[in-house]
Structure 1
Amino acid sequence: MTATLRPVAPSDCDLVCRHRHDMFLAAGDADAGAAAMTPAYAAWQEQALRSGAYFGFIAEVDGTAIGGVGLMVVDWPPHQLHPEITQRGYVLNVFVEPEHRGKGIAKQMMAAADAEFNRRGVTHAVLTATDQARPIYEKDGWVLTAQMGKDMR
């Protein structure tokens, strides 16, 4: 199945928030799913869409949104593995509605993400993958890296 991809727009804010919520629930993370629906996240998402800091694609079939992928370009210090790179592409909110999974929609969206990063001169990108999605990304050349986090509150 091939979906039609269109650029995400500020009017898609509620859709992106719902996809993010459903993405976390599908991954088994109810707490993160609830956090995705907070007013703070929605306000951030709306501002990021309006400013263009968050861009990406919505996948549609017969005019109905069935998935999406979010993209950002973030400043990042040069690293020993990438000593000349001062920005990274960041992929987030990759989601396909359950009834459309396994049909190549995520692969189509990720190919569009790659092309958009290339168009913007981004040469290195990162994402966070669930255990369920990791094999899909690995088939597309993504590699597992070590990353840790700490709550500083």
Structure 2
Amino acid sequence: MDTRELCVDDLELICRHREEMFREAGRSDAILATMTEQFRPWLEPRLRDGTYYGFLLRDDGKPAAGIGLMTIEWPPHPSHPMQDKRGYVLNVYVEKPYRSRGLGRALMKLAEEEFAKRNLQFAVLHATELGQPLYAKLGWNPTTEMSKPLAA
């Protein structure tokens, strides 16, 4: 298994991983097609300028797992009182044939190392039910976040 940083050539793979992740979480194909149609042009410039970064794990050149990372602006907070930013983990996906081999754990270790390199002292993610047990084992804790769809 080799590891490399994400690049703009990974655009379609990241889109596919994101769709599969949400499909496995029970989202409909119609919603996912709309999401990806909007996500692709959002992601491409961020991959180019490095504001969306992350890693890909490959088995003999074949994608096995990936993780997306961002540094997001956030006001100083009790969890990070001296910083106005957070690390953000998104689009963690392990291809089905590679599951239960520790790749999710390896991706999260890479994420934490990358955040440390960027001097980020606090990170967040939104977990699917499938991902929650892994994140909990790695010391990630639920927060008090709530959400509500708003009419446009």
Name the TM tier (shorter chain): over 0.9
SS at match of 2:75: coil
Q: TM-score, normalised by structure 2?
A: 0.93
Contact 1:20-1:36 at 8 Å conserved across structures:
no
In the other structure, the counterpart of 1:72 is: 70
CA distance in 2, matches of 1:133, 1:62: 25
Q: 1:83 to 1:137 in 2, by over 3 A?
A: same
Q: Report the alpha carbon displacement of residue 113 of structure 1 after superposing the two structures with TM.
A: 0.7
Return the match for 2:8 from 7, 10, 24: 10
Deviation at 1:48, TM superposition (A): 0.8
Are 1:120 and 2:118 counterparts?
yes
Deviations 1:11-59 (A, max 9, x none): 1101100110011111222265334321x21001101101110000011
The whole-number CA distance in structure 1 between the counterparts of 2:35 and 2:94 is 16
CA distance in structure 2 between the aligned counterparts of 1:52 and 1:138, rounded to whole angstroms: 28
- Counterparts of 1:36-75 in structure 2, within 5 Å, are 36-38=35-37, 40-75=38-73
For structure 1, the residue ranges without an aligned partner over 5 or more in a row are none
Could you tell me how far 1:146 is from its partner in structure 2? 1.5
Which amino acid in 2 is paired with 1:53? Answer: T
Q: Which residue matches 1:85?
A: 83
Per the alignment, residue 111 of structure 1 pairs with 109
**Counterpart residue number, 1:102:** 100
State the one-letter code of the partner of 2:75: P
Q: Give, in angstroms, the shift of residue 133 of structure 1.
A: 1.2
Say if 2:148 is the partner of 1:150.
yes
Q: Is the 8 A contact 2:80 2:121 kept in 1?
A: no
Q: CA deviation at 1:8?
A: 0.2
Number of the residue aligned with 1:34: 33
Corresponding residue for residue 22 of structure 2: 24
Verify the 8 A CA contact 1:23 1:33 in the aligned structure 2.
no
SS in 2 for 1:36: helix
Q: Gapped runs of 5+ residues in structure 2?
A: none
Q: CA deviation at 1:83?
A: 1.7
- Cα deviation for residue 150 of structure 1 reads 3.0
Q: 2:56·2:65 contact (CA, 8 Å) conserved in 1?
A: yes
State the identity %: 41
TM-score, length of structure 1 as denominator length: 0.92
CA distance in 1, matches of 2:17, 2:79: 33
- Structure 2 CA distance, aligned partners of 1:46 and 1:9? 10
The Cα offsets for residues 109-128 of structure 1, whole Å up to 9 and x where unpaired, read as: 11111100000101100000
